[in-house]
């Protein structure tokens, strides 16, 4: 959305994506990018920068205050983006923050996050509310793809700080491994927006059999949503597991079982199933709407 506002005023825009749940979140990012740029980027084929940010998960869990994860994540993104922007001669960073919409977007936190970033930061959505943003998304054709996307919550705080000071955030940032930013930058993959559809097809091949349409007999069903969502409704017999504890929970239950995961929109469950498969478990993802109809 922020990119569209800049493009409509004649600016060329590239996009940076921080992947925490490869390849599922990358597929979602590329779908939204294709919907946006294929229609609205006239005369320019935007560059898409994709970074493997999964090292941040363990780094945040082991080194920093969990109530500041969301704000610190933004701070790391700003740092990475500014370094990439400088190497390509970009004239500023464009972000999608809307004032007060989430905890990391309060005035106090935005000031702390951008401290030390020595290039302009443009926030074209800053005064819009959620309804405004949804209306614009429908107008420009990205709404449907955006609604299929959910945030991967592995490093987002349940009780986030809303008034982080510059000093506090700098202290947390300095706790991170000194080589972390350089390591993240070394993982950058760059492609043009015109190649998004092809890359989506390639990535989908590796995830095509992770989705199932029914729960096998004797399978362990795992609900990856929040505790509140689980208590409101869950599939009969499902156990509620924090995504951060998925691997350890499954390891304690054994490798001779079938695991079926579900979440709100499918990102966490598909990523979780792929991650468990990588470790040698038999795991699948199932759409929550199928479970609701069958229960």
The residues that are catalytic are 263
Q: Phi and psi dihedrals of 63, rounded to 5?
A: -120, -25
C-alpha separations of 279 from 24, 155, 161, 276, 286 in Å: 17, 21, 35, 5, 19
| Whether the Cβ atoms of residue 35 and residue 178 lie closer than 8 Å to each other | no
Which DSSP string do the residues of 39-98 spell out, in sequence order?
Answer: HH--S---EEEEEE-THHHHHHHHHS-GGGHHHHHHHHHHHHHHHHHHHTT---EE----
Beta bridge partners of 189: 50
Task: Please answer whether residues 112 and 71 qualify as being in contact, where contact means their C-beta atoms are separated by less than 8 angstroms.
Answer: yes
Nearest to 21 by CA among 223, 244, 256, 255: 244
């Amino acid at each position: 959305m922020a990119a569209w506002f800049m493009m409509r005023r004649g600016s060329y825009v590239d996009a940076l994506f921080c992947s925490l749940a490869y390849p599922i979140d990358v597929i979602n990012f590329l779908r939204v990018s294709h919907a946006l740029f294929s229609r609205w980027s006239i005369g320019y084929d935007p560059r898409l920068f994709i970074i493997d940010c999964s090292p941040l998960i363990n780094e945040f869990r082991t080194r920093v205050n969990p109530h500041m994860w969301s704000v610190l994540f933004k701070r790391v993104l700003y740092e990475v983006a500014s370094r990439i922007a400088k190497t390509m001669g970009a004239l500023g960073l464009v972000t999608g923050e809307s004032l007060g919409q989430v905890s990391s977007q309060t005035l106090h936190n935005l000031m702390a996050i951008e401290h030390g970033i020595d290039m302009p930061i443009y926030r074209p959505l800053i005064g819009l509310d959620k309804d405004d943003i949804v209306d614009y998304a429908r107008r420009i054709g990205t709404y449907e793809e955006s609604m299929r996307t959910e945030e991967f919550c592995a490093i987002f705080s349940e009780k986030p700080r809303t008034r982080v000071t510059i000093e506090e955030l700098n202290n947390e940032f300095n706790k991170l491994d000194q080589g972390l930013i350089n390591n993240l930058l070394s993982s950058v993959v760059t492609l043009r927006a015109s190649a998004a559809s092809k890359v989506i097809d390639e990535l989908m091949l590796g995830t095509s059999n992770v989705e199932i349409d029914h729960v096998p007999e004797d399978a362990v069903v795992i609900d990856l949503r929040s505790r509140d969502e689980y208590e409101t409704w869950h599939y009969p017999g499902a156990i509620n597991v924090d995504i951060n504890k998925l691997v350890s929970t499954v390891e304690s239950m054994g490798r001779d079982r079938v695991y079926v995961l579900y979440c709100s929109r499918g990102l966490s469950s598909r990523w979780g199933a792929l991650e468990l498969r990588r470790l040698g478990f038999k795991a699948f993802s199932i759409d929550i709407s199928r479970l609701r109809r069958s229960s």
